[in-house]
Amino acid sequence: MEYRPLGKTDIKVSKICLGTMTFGEQNTEAEAHEQLDYAVAQGINFIDAAEMYPVPINAATQGRTEQYLGTWLKKRSDREQIILASKVAGPGRKEALGHLRDGPRLSRDHVLQACDASLQRLQTDYIDLYQVHWPSRSTNYFGQLGYRYGKDHHPETIAETLGALGELVAAGKVRQIGLSNETPWGLAEYLSLAKELNLPRIVTVQNPYSLLNRSYEVGLAEFAHRSSVGLLAYSPLAFGVLSGKYVHGQRPEGTRLTRWGQYFTRYTSENAQKVTQAYVELAQQHGLDPAQMALAYVNSRPFLTANIIGATSMDQLRSNIASAELVLSDEVLKGIEAIHDVTPNPCP
């Protein structure tokens, strides 16, 4: 397993990061622990969670992912070898997120409360990487590719959020901080304020990146790369679509898009299915597993710090982790670019 620095820090994380948002919904506690044990045995030292997990959002299950991680950590004696990441939720509709502090915000009090609650569930004294899950301001994320101005409805500023994160670092509860679902402007503002106010510097940005969504390359990739802010790529299989299991209208029982497809329609659009079919056929032409090809492409990007994979079965997990050893040929890479040039970013 290859290890890469977390921003400008001396923390080294595995190129493959284990995502955990299925823990507590699609995966039981025993299954979660089995995945974690296997991942660590394969050299993975980087694990990503969030206070609102598992997905989909549900008041009855919220926090269960971190709880499962906590019971796993408690059984081990190597906490210092694990790089543990989690996230504080940004603001959202009260009917969807009202169970989180009566509607989460990125104010000082909310950030501090969220971190303390996560630490308690995780049964640990510190979080290695604490991230803002999505911005407080009105901007483009979660499927919105283009920016459309909208009035901000929350008074907290980036300075307030960053100040709260700085307090957590000073208290020893958090080692490093990062962003998620961010834009070039947002990252620039955090970096500028960190320098101006002598506050901790952002080390990573966790954004979607896959064969079906390379929007990160437009603007943010260069800015982050030149600023030594690493990409943590999430949804590298576009919610499992790039595995090919949904082609020709298939809906395997128990899968996320079968169960909750109404929440993630960008992955099931006609255009997305058409492009996915092209990538699946390209993989098959070269004797490659479609999922491994898609993951290997993400792994090969020079601006990547870690590729966040997720799985609901051990077979999926084994295959996904094995992608770390796959090197795509020039012919395959040319084929990928040809498909992308015709239909770029069908799943923003």
Residue 3 has pLDDT above 80, yes or no: yes
298-315 burial: b if 16+ Cβ within 10 Å, else e: bbebebbbbbbbbbbeee
Give the end-to-end CA distance of the chain in Å, rounded to a whole number: 30
Residue 160 has pLDDT above 90, yes or no: yes
295 and 317 Cβ atoms separated by less than 8 Å: no
Q: What is the pLDDT of residue 162?
A: 98
As a whole number of angstroms, the distance between CA 224 and CA 233 comes to 13
Mean pLDDT value across residues 137-157: 84
Question: What fold, for 3-240+298-327?
Answer: TIM Barrel (3.20.20)
Q: Which residues are catalytic?
A: 53
As a whole number of angstroms, the distance between CA 123 and CA 156 comes to 29
Q: Give the pLDDT confidence of 251-298 residue by residue, as tens digits.
A: 766 676 666 665 567 777 888 899 999 999 999 999 999 999 999 999
189 and 223 Cβ atoms separated by less than 8 Å: no
As a whole number of angstroms, the distance between CA 347 and CA 234 comes to 13
Q: What is the pLDDT of residue 157?
A: 94
As a whole number of angstroms, the distance between CA 31 and CA 39 comes to 12
Q: Which two tokens stand for residue 218?
A: 């437009």
As a whole number of angstroms, the distance between CA 209 and CA 307 comes to 9
Mean pLDDT value across residues 195-223: 97
Q: What is the pLDDT of residue 261?
A: 63
Q: Residue 132 is which amino acid? A: V
* Secondary structure letter of residue 290 according to DSSP: H
Closest among 14, 24, 8 to 47, alpha carbons compared? 14
As a whole number of angstroms, the distance between CA 315 and CA 311 comes to 8
As a whole number of angstroms, the distance between CA 48 and CA 175 comes to 15
Question: Which of 187 and 251 is assigned the larger pLDDT?
Answer: 187
Q: Output Rg (C-alpha) for the chain, integer angstroms.
A: 19
Q: Alpha carbon of 122 to those of 72, 129, 165: distances in Å?
A: 9, 13, 18
Q: What are the residue ranges spanned by the domains of the chain?
A: 3-240+298-327
**What is the pLDDT confidence band of residue 146, given thresholds at 50, 70 and 90?**
confident
